[in-house]
Structure 1
Amino acid sequence: MTQTMRKTDQELKTAVTEELHYTPNVDASGVEVQVDGGTVTLSGEVNSLPERLAAKHAAMRVGGVTNVTNKTAVRALLPTEINDQTLAHAVGEALAWTVDVPANAVKADVRDQRVTLTGRVTWDYQRHAATRAVTYLKGVKLVSNEILLESAVPTAGTKAAAEAAIRRSAELNPANITIGLDGSELTLHGSVGSWSQLRAAERAAWSAAGVTSVRNELHIAS
């Protein structure tokens, strides 16, 4: 049986840097990488919000990484290129044309090319859809999602449904994950082997009917 050795911080830094350079939609020359105890910190400047997100996802893909702090900043466009009024119009159009964002449920405020989303929706995927709708617009530097989640669905079968979803998953080991439910808040406990598994468990939790909050207390096992 072969034992997998834990990577040192220097090895992780090298691996993350290589992954950033390998990722075609990231200009790695503008991103700095630091690693401390398996936690990766990214800093520097990138050209767009999607590039900023892609850099974080690249770091998360590297085996041995236990956490990623993304301190990269999006370079601001000149006022002559785009202004808040023009961007606010584009944001409103994008939300209106996105099929999985409920009509008139989400409002957006744009200041200094930063978008703040507010409103109320029923499902978490609708909140993500609103963020996704505006993230890829030219000029957006940051999206703050303050949309509230409310559901009138009874939670009597919520815990059992979430547990069944975990068992069905090809990515997850249900023996290592336990679920707690307090009102409409679902909590995940236990361990997973990677960031992708952690996110898979979280997606399964959010998909349970009646859930308005998820506390992900899973840790990534070395």
Structure 2
Amino acid sequence: MKTDTQIQRDVLAELKWEPSVNAAQIGVEVKEGIVTLEGKVSSYSEKWDAERAAQRVSGVKALAIKLDVALPGSSQRDDADIAHSAANVLAWMTYLPDDSVEVVVEKGWITLSGEVDWDYQKQAALGAVRHLMGVTGVSNQIVIKPRVLLSAVKSEIESALKRRAHMDADKILVAIKDADVTLTGTAHSLSERDSARHAAWGTPGVRNVVDHIVVI
């Protein structure tokens, strides 16, 4: 089991290894496996990449993000320009039905809303706008349209977990109520917990996933 000092060292190394992140501007504190990232980044996409880098490190149980997005002058844009760019990039996406996602921008912060059929469409919309110049943050409020769950949905999720050889699928428990899935049990890392959540979201008919998996 890693000590907090080892986790801190590994997170710092992972941040330095990530080319899209200026690690010199980010401080890392660790207490009982919970990692806090502090400092300033020059774009929302850099903030996102810093979070993903920290999550890749084994032993990290949770993240607390205290990173401020400080846009350089050359990257600042008014809200109307950002909204126009976001609407255009979403309109060109083959993943999304026409007019399924709405965009609101306030002080550089994008809020996405609307309804889609699948979680991958929701995540694709987020991925399309988070790299736009001038964006300081994104709230993804897109919802998944309710669909009739098949009787086999529970076994489909469990089968997806077992296909991921690096995971001990027997330690992940799946419960279903209506179109909502609740995951409980234990995982060895944040990446394993993410894999379980993605397996649940990738099952047809799932509207919501509640993640109660504990990283040990």
Residue 64 of structure 1 deviates from its aligned partner by: 1.3
Residue 153 of structure 1 deviates from its aligned partner by: 2.9
- What secondary structure is seen at the aligned counterpart in 2 of 1:131? helix
Partner of 2:165: 170
Moved more, 63-72 or 105-114: 63-72
Partner of 2:52: 57
Residue 171 of structure 1 deviates from its aligned partner by: 2.7
Give CA-to-partner distance per residue, 1:31-86, whole Å, 9 cap, x none: 11111110001011101111111111111122211111222121135499421111
Of 67, 70, 84, which aligns to 1:89? 84
Tell me if 1:105 matches 2:65.
Answer: no
Q: 1:118 to 1:10 in 2, by over 3 A?
A: same
Of 137, 144, 148, which aligns to 2:143? 148
Tell me if 1:199 matches 2:194.
Answer: yes
Specify the code of the residue in structure 2 equivalent to 1:155: L
Of 68, 73, 76, which aligns to 2:71? 76
Q: 1:180 to 1:80 in 2, by over 3 A?
A: closer
- Stretches of structure 1 that go unaligned for 5 or more consecutive residues are 1-5
Give CA-to-partner distance per residue, 1:9-51, whole Å, 9 cap, x none: 2222122112211221110111111111100010111011111
Partner of 1:121: 116
Quick one: distance in 2 between partners of 1:140 and 1:128?
17
TM-score normalised by structure 2 residue count: 0.94
**8 Å contact 1:166–1:204 — kept in the other structure?**
yes
**RMSD between aligned alpha carbons?**
1.5
- Stretches of structure 2 that go unaligned for 5 or more consecutive residues are none
Quick one: distance in 1 between partners of 2:82 and 2:33?
38
Partner of 1:3: none
TM-score normalised by structure 1 residue count: 0.92
| Matched length | 216
Specify the code of the residue in structure 2 equivalent to 1:132: G
Residue 205 of structure 1 deviates from its aligned partner by: 0.3
How do residues 202-213 of structure 1 correspond to structure 2 at under 5 angstroms? 202-213=197-208
Quick one: distance in 1 between partners of 2:157 and 2:130?
29
